[in-house]
Structure 1
Amino acid sequence: MSEKHLDEVDHSYIRYANVWEDPKLLLEGLDICHEHKVLSIASAGDNALALLVTNPKIVVAIDLNKPQLYLTELKKVAIQNLDQDAFVKFAGFQDDSRRWRTFMKFRDDLSAEARTYWNGKKEEIEKGIIYNGKFEKYLKTFATKLLPLIHSRKKVQELFEEKSAADQRKFYDQKWNTWRWRLLFRVFFSKLVMGWLGRDPAFLEQVDVDVSTTIFEKAENHLSSIYAQKNPILYYCLNGNFGSYLPFYAREENYENVRGNLDKLEIEYGYAQDAAVKYGQFDRFNLSNIFEYMDEEVFTSTAESLVNIANPGSRFAYWNLMVERQMSEVVEGLSREDDRANWKDRDEGFFYKQFVLETT
């Protein structure tokens, strides 16, 4: 398989400290049971951890970026050693001045590679590991440097206040959607600025749409809907922190369930389709938005390889951001499931073009 789509990608740093894809859609779509073997793109580990609530046979979190794997492992080991209150403080969701001291208590449980990596990241740990990705810093710059030039903190909080669908739309149209908002949004979320500050430019090579216009349209649809009012991803985008929101895996009602299944989470380096060499065939696939970065040839080859390691009745879930890719259009034996339960409107990753679920 051609790997040219990754030749210019820098894998030496943490790109994402959190996962910006909706775990609830993932869980609903994949419908995992205890007999299923799950293959998941690791990224920051959040959704691989979230999948553990289903008590699967195994979840293999795989990635080509080793620092992302070190982050996933750090979250896993921290959860093993800390109760829910201590974990949210250590990770950075709540204030804590003892994060490095906490890390010292469990760092020997990390693999040698991960331990060496984090031993040299004292400042990052003390700040809170959820804020140290390139993408998080990009979004925080928007929230703390640019947005105050457009809207007051009071107005930002008003966006999240509970109100009717009609009143949410009215608030967006009359108070939020100003010319300054439209101008600065389109500049900051342009292809040039996003490639420079947010994502690796190589990840945007396949994009042939106007990036800022596409994202603005998605943001407009979401911010003017009631689904914006309790969206933790949107909250971070507009505040530079998560406030009282926690990701699915770290919430009190899910934490002990995740913690109890951590022995089922395996962390691996490599291409997703190569995982079968060690683990055999899989039943469920969380593919994040990996197809976004591939040209047609590489996409087709990768899709074929993934279907080849899937058991009958398997499910594949993934997102398209700005590049439309659908496995069932290039591989026989796959069919796409219809959107259901208002997935398109509910998706907390509001900037994504579509959530795709396909079955064998």
Structure 2
Amino acid sequence: MNTKTLIDTAIINSTTSGSKGLADRLFTHWFSRLVYAQIWEDPKSDLDALQLKPGANILTISSGGCNALAYLSANPAAVHAVDLNAAHLAMLEMKKKAIKHLPDYDSVLAYLGNAAHSDNLKRYQRHIRPHLSEDASTFWESRSLLGQPRYRYFSKNAYQFGLLGDFIGFAHMFVRMMGGNMKKLLEARTPEEQSRLFDRYLAPVFDTAIFRFIARQPVALYSLGIPPSQFAALKHDAKQGLHLLFKERMRHLACDFPIEENCFAQQAFGRRHDTSKQAALPMYLQKQYFTSLRLNIDRVHAHHITLTDFLRKQTNASMDAYLFLDAQDWMDQQQLTELWEEVTRTAAPGAKVVFRTGGEESPLEGKLPAHLISAWHTDVAHNRALYATDRSAIYGGMHLYQKV
């Protein structure tokens, strides 16, 4: 099944009608290309929540692939990375082959961390291209809208490409037009400076009339991967207006974690990874994890399929951990029920599920049948504590469920 068809099956459901139906179909068209060059959920928070034992079987959504690779540090038996979008699986494979076949850590950091070095073209041609699958090779060798082969992204800062990269670039330009400057936040050296620079260079933009207008348009958030159904959840939480909700989430990203140790803030405000500081790198690129990632790299398995269809192929009680990102925000009641029937069937004793939501509340209690929800335990207070640790800071909630 191709990417467009898979995304259609996920987005177009019982809620697709009227004006939302048009918005849903526009989103599926928009989302059928490379969206995320890097993932925007914090794998450290995931691993802290899951407390995995060696030998675990993990199911995750791939997205940009960073988290699927980071989970290898827990020495799992397998990480199954599922995605509706073949471009994301090509990105995962590029990162996987770089870790496996480039000569050493420094060359991996230059290729995947800096991702803007001219020598990366030679690294791709000599060490990566010969090992790519046919599908991934077709993606990376084909030409982008700019007319050059996509593998050249890695000589031009790969993380500035894709819909999210374009969105962040537009955000920088828009903030400058409004008199602010997102890059100024990287000058902070203390938490107090982070707050001061946020209030000076970014916070006022959220209160402008033009931003208030943009914040009310669902299409404006498509490049963040936010479909109409998730936009509705954001509106539900935005009692005082979406512009204030977005301001507080951006404040969370900019001010609530040391900025020099937050790879998400580095990308949002600097549009690059800071390779001069290990703590500023995403987990899968930190040197302390390199040996375990390279040793376990073949335990990552990519699947171009829906979560539910993947689980239908698995045996009873065979999975230990599930990471659903924010995919459940896209689902109607029938889709959620079908997914959790398979999750409950395939979950090993004590298995855990971690996911994010655009709004603060989990959708499960309101939509799952009693016989399914009663098989799982969650702790709302603990979930709030987990959310406070997620450095990506763009969601309204992080939720952990454990098999009873």
| Distance verdict in 2 for CA 1:180–1:288, change over 3 Å | closer
1:305-332 residue CA offsets vs partner (Å, 9 max, x unmatched): 3222211210001111237334356222
Are 2:186 and 1:161 equivalent residues in the alignment? no
Are 2:398 and 1:355 equivalent residues in the alignment? yes
Match of 1:271 among 300, 306, 316: 306
| Distance verdict in 2 for CA 1:205–1:342, change over 3 Å | closer
Match of 1:107 among 116, 125, 129: 129
| Distance verdict in 2 for CA 1:251–1:206, change over 3 Å | same
Give, in angstroms, the shift of residue 32 of structure 1: 1.3
Give, in angstroms, the shift of residue 346 of structure 1: 2.7
* Contact 1:60–1:265 under 8 Å retained in 2: yes
In structure 2, the partner of 1:96 is: 117
CA distance in 1, matches of 2:360, 2:322: 20
* Contact 2:207–2:243 under 8 Å retained in 1: no
Compare 214-223 and 17-26 and name the one that shifted more. 214-223
1:242-300 residue CA offsets vs partner (Å, 9 max, x unmatched): 33432110111112211110121111111113223544321111111111112233223
Are 2:316 and 1:287 equivalent residues in the alignment? no
* Contact 1:162–1:229 under 8 Å retained in 2: no
* Contact 1:300–1:327 under 8 Å retained in 2: no
* Contact 2:80–2:302 under 8 Å retained in 1: yes
Q: Which amino acid aligns with 2:141?
A: N
SS of residue paired to 1:261: helix
SS of residue paired to 2:233: coil
In structure 2, the partner of 1:143 is: 172
- Provide the identity percentage: 21
In structure 2, the partner of 1:218 is: 249
Match of 1:72 among 81, 92, 99: 92
In structure 2, the partner of 1:235 is: 266
In structure 2, the partner of 1:15 is: 35
| Distance verdict in 2 for CA 1:156–1:169, change over 3 Å | closer
Q: Which runs of at least 4 in structure 1 moved beyond 6 Å after TM superposition?
A: none
CA distance in 1, matches of 2:153, 2:252: 34
For structure 2, the 5+ residue unaligned runs are: 1-7, 13-24
SS of residue paired to 1:207: helix
Compare 74-83 and 318-327 and name the one that shifted more. 318-327
Are 2:356 and 1:319 equivalent residues in the alignment? yes
CA distance in 1, matches of 2:213, 2:259: 22
Equivalences, count: 354
Match of 2:225 among 192, 195, 199: 199
Compare 208-217 and 277-286 and name the one that shifted more. 208-217
Are 2:280 and 1:255 equivalent residues in the alignment? no
Compare 280-289 and 145-154 and name the one that shifted more. 145-154
* Contact 1:235–1:243 under 8 Å retained in 2: yes
CA distance in 1, matches of 2:120, 2:399: 38
1:31-55 residue CA offsets vs partner (Å, 9 max, x unmatched): 1122311111111111110100000
CA distance in 2, matches of 1:317, 1:64: 19
1:36-86 residue CA offsets vs partner (Å, 9 max, x unmatched): 111111111111101000001111111111111111111111111112221
Give, in angstroms, the shift of residue 101 of structure 1: 2.3
In structure 2, the partner of 1:62 is: 82
**TM-score under structure 2 length normalisation:** 0.78
1:169-196 residue CA offsets vs partner (Å, 9 max, x unmatched): 45545x3465335326545555445335
For structure 1, the 5+ residue unaligned runs are: none
CA distance in 2, matches of 1:254, 1:303: 33
**Mapping 1:121-140, distance limit 5 Å:** 121=143, 122-128=148-154, 129-140=158-169
Q: Which amino acid aligns with 2:140?
A: W
RMSD between superposed Cα atoms in Å: 2.8
| Distance verdict in 2 for CA 1:187–1:351, change over 3 Å | farther
In structure 1, the partner of 2:207 is: 182
| Distance verdict in 2 for CA 1:181–1:230, change over 3 Å | farther
Give, in angstroms, the shift of residue 136 of structure 1: 1.8
Q: Larger RCO: Structure 1 or Structure 2 (Cα < 8 Å, ≥ 6 residues apart)?
A: 1
| Distance verdict in 2 for CA 1:87–1:222, change over 3 Å | closer
Compare 329-338 and 46-55 and name the one that shifted more. 329-338
* Contact 1:98–1:126 under 8 Å retained in 2: no
Q: Which amino acid aligns with 2:108?
A: F
Give, in angstroms, the shift of residue 94 of structure 1: 4.9
**TM-score under structure 1 length normalisation:** 0.87
Match of 1:86 among 107, 111, 114: 107
SS of residue paired to 2:81: strand
1:106-145 residue CA offsets vs partner (Å, 9 max, x unmatched): 2121111111221114543223233322112101221245
Q: Which amino acid aligns with 1:119?
A: E
Q: Which amino acid aligns with 1:127?
A: Y
Give, in angstroms, the shift of residue 204 of structure 1: 4.0
Q: Which amino acid aligns with 2:264?
A: I
